[in-house]
Amino acid sequence: MKKICCTIFLVLIIFPAFSQTQEALLIKKAKAFYAWYNSKSNKMPNFNLYKGKNAKFEPPYYIDWNTVNKYFAYIKNNVPWLGETFIKNEKEFFKTCDEYFKKYPDDEIPYGFDYERIVGGQVGIEEAVEIYLPKTGKWKAVIQGNIAYVYCIYKTIDYETDKPKEAKSITEFRKENGVFKIAKTIGMTEIEEIDPVEVKEG
């Protein structure tokens, strides 16, 4: 009986510590990825994932799948934070864009490409990082089995009321072969308005 009690006691001590370590590692991974993206994005190959009918990129548009495959190959070989689920999500997104292009061939604004896909917004990457991942933000991670979410929680201004409010940037992770990899970046979760855990500051 004493042995069983000791075992349970050790589990109660070790598991929370392990969980906290896992959460800290996820936050570290998220921060490392966005720091890398912010510093290296202008040095990455220029993947023109969609094209137009001529050199001016005029509509109708279409997804260039050969370039998309090169983009995915680049990610697999050079961006260790992103996983296969990220690539799967991107592939589905590009399919949706391609279908939209075919349905609305005269639209001048290329659907899905009028904002920054990775960090969100319609400003430059560096500015977007400053807005959505501010240095004053508080980072939290929540692990739910093979899925995890990393939050950067910060204060911003509500444009409708002009009052301060809490905002969140969310990075979704999926466990692949025992390792958590980014499945959706803050730009992707922003568009989808994902907030599965309702984490709050404090």
Is the residue at 14 inside a domain?
A: no
Question: Does residue 8 form part of some domain?
Answer: no
Q: Is the pLDDT of residue 199 over 90?
A: no
pLDDT recorded at residue 4: 47
In a domain, 202, yes or no: no
**Position 3 in a domain:** no
Task: Determine, yes or no, domain membership for 19.
Answer: no
Tell me the pLDDT band of 198, cut-offs 50, 70 and 90: low
- List pLDDT tens digits, range 55-104: 778 899 999 999 999 999 999 999 999 999 999 999 999 999 999 999 99
pLDDT at 26 > cutoff 50: yes
Confidence of residue 30 (pLDDT cuts 50, 70, 90): very high
Quote the pLDDT of residue 19.
54
Domain that holds residue 155: 24-192
Check residue 13 and give its pLDDT. 42
**Mean pLDDT, residues 104-110:** 94
Give the count of domains, the chain: 1
Within-domain flag for 36:
yes
Q: Is 198 inside any structural domain?
A: no
Q: What's the pLDDT score for residue 159?
A: 77
pLDDT tier, 10 (very low <50, low <70, confident <90, very high otherwise): very low
Per-residue H/E/C for the chain: CHHHHHHHHHHHHHHHHHHHHHHHHHHHHHHHHHHHHHHHHHHCCCCCCEECCCCCCCCCCEECHHHHHHHHHHHHHHCCCECHHHHHHHHHHHHHHHHHHHHCCCCCCCCCCCCCCCCCCCCCHHHHHHHHCCCCCEEEEEEECCEEEEEEEEEEECCCCCCEEEEEEEEEEEEECCEEEEEECHHHHHHHCCCCCCCCCC
**Is 156 a member of any domain?**
yes
Share of the chain above pLDDT 90, in %: 68
User: Is 165 a residue whose pLDDT tops 60?
Assistant: yes
User: What is the pLDDT of the chain when averaged over all its residues?
Assistant: 86
